[in-house]
Amino acid sequence: MTDKNAELFERAQRVIPGGVNSPVRAFRAVGGTPRFISRAQGPYIFDAAGQRYIDYIGSWGPMILGHGHPAVLEAVQKAATEGFSFGAPTEREIELAEEIISLVPSIEQVRLVSSGTEAAMSAIRLARGATGRPMLIKFEGCYHGHADALLVKGGSGMATFGHPTSAGVPPEVVQHTLVLEYNNLEQLEEAFALHGDQLACVMLEPIAGNMNFVRAQVPFVRRLRELCTQHGALLAFDEVMTGFRVALGGAQSLYAQLIPGFAPDISVFGKVIGGGMPLAAFGASREVMSLLAPLGPVYQAGTLSGNPVATACGLATLREIRKPGFFDQLSATTASLVQGLDAAAQKAGVPMVFDHQGGMFGFFFASELPQHYNAVLATDKERFNRFFHAMLDRGVYLAPALYEAGFVSAAHTTDDIAATVSAAAEALALG
């Protein structure tokens, strides 16, 4: 903790609820004082006291190129000189949409919005409009933004309806939201058997990044696709976190390699496609997307949708990451980090498990990888908290909660990885 950070946090709490504008930033899960960031460059962030950290949050995923990439900076600066916002169409919106569609074969049209929450909320409205059905399935531990219908988690019973997990959300708003255990085939079968003809969509994070890092198993995804097709429900992949982060075509491209003919019906993107600016999107077939206003009866709008500065940032980012070899190198860097951390944990005799894909990784203080939310809750939270602070003290900035994934950028060097592994070895030796 530095005096400057503590001073800012005290000041912030007087004018901002909890002193932060997004809850996890408050360090409530790990304790201590949040760091107030003053600037960033490459793989590093610098706090208000001038302390440098190797950054594995990357603005929660968008900064896949690192901070301040020259091509992205140039594009944003040029766009800013031309105008911040017009409330009218621009050519760059078309270019970004074309870029996204060219990388994701499952979508034929895309609508740009300003946040992942907005994109997920709109995708569900679109699914309900397309099917004429009210119900949706989500999975416990998956986060799809803070729209009312999605702020619900499951209980211990099978195929039971959830209850709101936020004050201000009336029970009737989530009465059509069915919450199942992630990777539980039995619950999935039962839910479709009971409610299949009322289901508009199933919303899934293919790699759940708000459980730290938990993959949807291939048999689970395969059966989910079969059941949605059989019952006429739409399968929505929430790739706000995984899109263009775990692979160039998103997580869905990985499942398509393992499940012949696989594709979701609706895809939701954010984070990387904005390059750090507020930008997200949802896309589907031309037939489904034609139901959106102004063509169809499903209304969705936004004053800042397709913002010209944000689209410049996102477009420059996508054009960089699609260059040959980019994801091979990013994946290798992430693998190097995870292998080094694993070796450090084994040497220290600390039970610790890891998973990673592309530029995204996760770890748990446990003996085996969790497959669902309750298993994540059973991992060693206190040990994580001690590890987090020991790493922070050594200049490594990890997510301040065990439920959050980590992110590697193309700017992380072999020296950064080595320094991180060295810090981890010291931190793990402390117990």
CATH number where 209 lies: 3.40.640.10
* Statement to judge: residues 110 and 42 lie in one domain: no
Give the residue numbers spanning the domain of 61: 3-68+324-429
Residues 257 and 157 in one domain: yes
Q: How confident is the model over 340-352, as a mean pLDDT?
A: 97
Based on the domain organization, do 191 and 102 belong to the same domain? yes
- The reply to whether 316 and 338 lie within a common domain is no
Mean pLDDT of 343-369: 97
Q: Count H helices, E strands: the chain? A: 13, 18
Q: Both 279 and 297 in a single domain?
A: yes
* CB of 67 closer than 8 Å to CB of 411: yes
| Each residue's pLDDT tens digit, 384-402 | 999 999 999 999 999 999 9
Is the pLDDT confidence value at 21 over 70? yes
CATH of residue 396's domain is 3.90.1150.10
Q: Based on the fold, state whether residues 374 and 401 are members of the same structural domain.
A: yes
Burial label, 297 (beta-carbon count in 10 A; 0-12, 13-18, 19+): exposed
Of 55, 238, 355, 416, the catalytic one is 238
Residue spans of alpha helices (H) in 16-58: none
To which H or E segment does residue 355 belong?
strand 353-357
Summary mean pLDDT of the chain: 94
Residues 125 and 266 in one domain: yes
One of 53, 143, 255, 397 is an active-site residue; which one?
143
pLDDT of 164 over the 70 cut: no
In this structure, the answer to whether residues 235 and 172 fall within a common structural domain is yes
Alpha-carbon distance 296 to 129, whole Å? Answer: 9
Dist. CA 410–CA 358, nearest whole Å: 11
User: Which has the higher per-residue pLDDT, 148 or 93?
Assistant: 93
Q: How far apart are CA 212 and CA 353, in angstroms?
A: 12
Q: What is the pLDDT of residue 159?
A: 38
Mean predicted confidence (pLDDT) in 306-334: 98
Examine the residue annotation and report whether 271 is marked as an active-site residue of this protein. Answer: yes
User: Over 90: is that where the pLDDT of 9 sits?
Assistant: yes
- Could you tell me if 314 and 369 lie in one domain? no
pLDDT in tens, 189-215: 999 999 999 999 999 999 999 999 999
Write out pLDDT tens, residues 208-257.
Answer: 999 999 999 999 999 999 999 999 999 999 999 999 999 999 999 999 99
Residue 163 banded pLDDT, cuts 50, 70, 90: low
Say if residue 79 is in the same domain as residue 209: yes
Q: Which of 289, 321, 353 is where one domain is finished?
A: 321
Catalytic (active site) residue 238: yes
Asked whether residue 39 falls in the same domain as residue 139, the answer is no
Which region, left, alpha or beta, applies to residue 322 given φ > 0 means left and ψ of -120 to 50 means alpha? alpha
pLDDT of amino acid 174? 81
Residue that finishes a domain, picked among 321, 343, 377: 321
How much is the pTM? 0.94
Percent of the chain with pLDDT over 90: 90
Number of structural domains (the chain) is 2
The SS3 of residue 313 is helix
What is the separation, in whole angstroms, between the first and last Cα of the chain?
A: 21
The share of the chain scoring above pLDDT 70, in percent, equals 97
**Low-confidence winner among 120-134, 172-186, 195-209, 416-430 (lowest mean pLDDT):** 172-186
Residue ending a domain, among 321, 350, 374, is: 321
pLDDT band at 158 (very low <50, low <70, confident <90, very high): very low
Render the burial of 179-202: b for 16+ CB within 10 Å, e for the rest. Answer: bbbbbbeebbeebbeebbeebbbb
- Contacts of residue 95, defined as CB under 8 A and 6 or more positions apart, other chains included, come to 311, 315
Of the pLDDT bands very low, low, confident and very high (cuts 50, 70, 90), residue 149 is: confident
Instruction: Select which of 53, 271, 373, 403 is catalytic.
Output: 271
Q: In this structure, are 227 and 271 located in the same domain?
A: yes
